[in-house]
Chains A and B, each alone.
Chain A
Amino acid sequence: NAGVTQTPKFRILKIGQSMTLQCTQDMNHNYMYWYRQDPGMGLKLIYYSVGAGITDKGEVPNGYNVSRSTTEDFPLRLELAAPSQTSVYFCASRLGLAVSYEQYFGPGTRLTVT
């Protein structure tokens, strides 16, 4: 299994541009999450999904959109990029059963908005 994969690894955007961060997991996990991590800080939850077709907002959803059309994919869309969105973005997944507590994280996408 590849686990959780994220593309791209790095990206530089100009203010006002848009982009989609891709996240794919091959573990048949029901739950998927998007976090952002600013320098020297912990991760903050942007959006999450408990299954295909179901998404919900996390702590910092403004400026982002998500969709979950398949179990495997959970893309994060940035519309009208702003410098405040400069961060490292991590996608994670979890099986979702009551006995499954472990979240598996991807390697991250480092985004700079200038």
Chain B
Amino acid sequence: DAKTTQPNSMESNEEEPVHLPCNHSTISGTDYIHWYRQLPSQGPEYVIHGLTSNVNNRMASLAIAEDRKSSTLILHRATLRDAAVYYCILRDRRSQGNLIFGKGTKLSVKP
């Protein structure tokens, strides 16, 4: 499975945008890019996913580089509740949906 590289930690101020980067230089044509986040003492929750085009939903936006070797999760206005570990995961669309989690990026949000 292709691997992802994320910074260990990032800080943001409340109500400012946050850009969380992810590198996946060995991504294959059948890999979807998924983002999950894990709030303290909770199970992970789905944030967004994409294949080639940029994606938006109520939680976030996903910007995918043209060569698909990197992507960025964008939180438009960080809130204290967004403090969590964010995981960038590649999922082969031919697989059974198994997710391979790395260590993720721990996002801290300052009031």
Interface size class of B (residues with CB under 8 A): 20 to 34
Q: How many residues of A contact B (CB 8 A)?
A: 28
Interface-lining segment among A14-22, A61-69, A72-80, A102-110 = A102-110
**In the complex, what distance in Å separates the CA atom of A108 from the CA atom of B40?**
12
Chain B positions within 8 Å of A48 at CB level = 96, 98
B34 in contact (CB, < 8 A):
yes
B68 in contact (CB, < 8 A):
no
Chain A positions within 8 Å of B10 at CB level = none
- Chain A residues 44 to 70 lying within 8 A of chain B, measured CB to CB, are 44-45, 48, 50, 56, 58-59
**A residues near B, CB below 8 A?**
4, 31, 33, 35, 40-45, 48, 50, 56, 58-59, 90, 92, 94, 96, 98, 101-108
